[in-house]
């Protein structure tokens, strides 16, 4: 029998302690291109993803995977959005205050594309649920996303709309029982080619992986950090190390905690609080601090601030001058 063309990539990863090695960036791209094109068998796909999971992906492999994933998406005109915001983790301890940070930037003129997952039933709050509480909806097509960006400078694209094939790959976690490199790829997808990206991680070490992969990809501006619950939301209760790429150069910044004591878990997780806080009808100490700090990190990534202090100062000003009727129809 003739060997399947994809078998060589499995052999690279699976030849044992002495024979196995990491893939090059080019090999990783070629492998993912075959996966996305449906040119692998289910058995090969499962073996490949789990070998990668055990080994853990290198920055070069992530860069190659992301190159292939980006190339599989519809082309978008440069300048469509200013900031790409990946949100794939969901929240279970605090509300998604980062959504208000994105809205804050949008209300002051920055065009933001958010994209992510919605997994009802896993006891987490995802962006679509929070959007509905704000009187907004997720985009059901790329055309609708463009319309929402034009109307309110913010859109949220669910992964099944963004890329059905990547949605299929991510859904394999329920079958395989483990995350795969696809989880890493999605955070760096930047489907509308924004000049700046912000993303959160949960597992230690992946911030460095994303940072180094961004350099290999030539991404000019990136902010990645261990966010609350794994989302791109700065937890104001503790220090936050932001791994950045600014104009193609590594720049790491440590953001100091804003509170001496940690806040308790939000047991209610009532998304209606988001609108109440935005419109000034309620206050939330943790939420307002989290959204300001998150917006500040994004401002640094956008080149609108140089330091944590300057970023927080500007984010606070934006919050104080936000249009309270921005969420009105």
Is residue 123 over pLDDT 90? Answer: no
Q: Report yes or no on 237 lying in a domain.
A: yes
pLDDT reported for residue 118: 87
- For residues 208 and 128, membership in a common domain is answered with yes
pLDDT reported for residue 120: 78
Q: Report yes or no on 253 lying in a domain.
A: yes
Q: Report yes or no on 326 lying in a domain.
A: no
Residues sharing a CB contact under 8 Å with residue 194, sequence separation 6 or more, in sequence order:
80, 81, 82, 83, 84, 113
pLDDT reported for residue 121: 75
- For residues 174 and 58, membership in a common domain is answered with no
- For residues 194 and 55, membership in a common domain is answered with no
Which of these three, 71, 105, 122, is where a domain ends? 71
pLDDT > 70: percent of the chain? 100
- For residues 198 and 220, membership in a common domain is answered with yes
- Per-residue pLDDT tens digits for 262-273: 999 999 999 999
Q: Report yes or no on 328 lying in a domain.
A: no
- For residues 19 and 158, membership in a common domain is answered with no
Which of 119-123, 256-260, 264-268 is predicted with the least confidence, judged by mean pLDDT?
A: 119-123
- Per-residue pLDDT tens digits for 94-109: 999 999 999 999 999 9
- For residues 155 and 224, membership in a common domain is answered with yes
pLDDT reported for residue 18: 87
Is residue 1 over pLDDT 80? Answer: no
Which of these three, 30, 51, 71, is where a domain ends? 71
Question: Averaged over 100-129, what is the pLDDT?
Answer: 94
Is residue 165 over pLDDT 90? Answer: yes
CATH code of 53's domain: 1.20.970.10
Q: Whats the size of the chain, residue-wise?
A: 329
Question: Averaged over 198-226, what is the pLDDT?
Answer: 97
- For residues 108 and 229, membership in a common domain is answered with yes
Q: Report yes or no on 250 lying in a domain.
A: yes
Q: Which of 307, 181, 205, 188 is nearest to 252 (CA)?
A: 307
Residue-range definition of the domain harbouring residue 134: 83-320
- For residues 100 and 249, membership in a common domain is answered with yes
Residues sharing a CB contact under 8 Å with residue 282, sequence separation 6 or more, in sequence order:
273, 276
Q: Report yes or no on 325 lying in a domain.
A: no
Number of domains in the chain: 2
Question: Averaged over 217-233, what is the pLDDT?
Answer: 97
- For residues 286 and 150, membership in a common domain is answered with yes
Q: Report yes or no on 102 lying in a domain.
A: yes
Neighbours of 317 (CB within 10 A): 12
- For residues 160 and 291, membership in a common domain is answered with yes
- For residues 88 and 115, membership in a common domain is answered with yes
pLDDT reported for residue 16: 87
CATH code of 109's domain: 3.40.1030.10
Which of these three, 21, 39, 71, is where a domain ends? 71
- For residues 15 and 99, membership in a common domain is answered with no
Q: Report yes or no on 1 lying in a domain.
A: no
Please, which pLDDT band fits residue 124 given cuts at 50, 70 and 90?
Answer: very high
pLDDT > 90: percent of the chain? 95
């Amino acid at each position: 029998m003739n060997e399947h063309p994809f078998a060589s990539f499995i052999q690279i990863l699976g030849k044992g302690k002495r024979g196995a090695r990491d893939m090059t960036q080019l090999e990783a791209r070629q492998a993912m291109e075959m996966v996305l094109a449906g040119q692998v068998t289910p058995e090969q796909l499962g073996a490949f993803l789990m070998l990668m999971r055990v080994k853990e992906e290198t920055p070069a492999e992530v860069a190659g995977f992301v190159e292939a994933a980006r190339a599989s998406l519809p082309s978008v005109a440069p300048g469509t959005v200013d900031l790409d915001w990946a949100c794939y983790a969901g929240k279970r301890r605090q509300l998604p205050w980062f959504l208000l940070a994105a809205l804050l930037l949008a209300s002051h003129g920055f065009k933001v594309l958010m994209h992510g997952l919605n997994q009802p039933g896993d006891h987490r709050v995802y962006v679509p649920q929070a959007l509905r509480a704000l009187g907004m909806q997720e985009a059901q097509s790329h055309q609708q996303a463009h319309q929402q960006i034009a109307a309110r400078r913010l859109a949220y694209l669910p992964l099944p709309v963004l890329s059905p094939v990547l949605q299929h790959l991510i859904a394999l976690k329920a079958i395989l029982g483990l995350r795969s490199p696809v989880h890493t790829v999605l955070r760096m997808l930047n489907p509308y080619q924004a000049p700046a990206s912000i993303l959160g991680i949960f597992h230690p070490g992946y911030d460095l992986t994303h940072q180094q992969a961004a350099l290999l990809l030539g991404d000019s501006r990136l902010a990645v950090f261990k966010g609350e619950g794994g989302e791109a939301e700065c937890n104001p209760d503790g220090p936050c190390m932001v791994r950045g790429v600014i104009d193609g150069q590594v720049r790491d910044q440590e953001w100091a905690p804003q509170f001496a004591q940690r806040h308790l878990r939000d047991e209610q997780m009532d998304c209606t609080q988001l609108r109440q806080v935005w419109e000034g009808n309620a206050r939330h100490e943790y939420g307002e601090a989290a959204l300001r700090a998150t917006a500040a990190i994004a401002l640094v990534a956008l080149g609108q601030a140089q330091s944590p202090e300057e970023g927080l100062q500007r984010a606070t000003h934006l919050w104080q001058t936000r249009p309270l009727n921005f969420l009105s129809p």
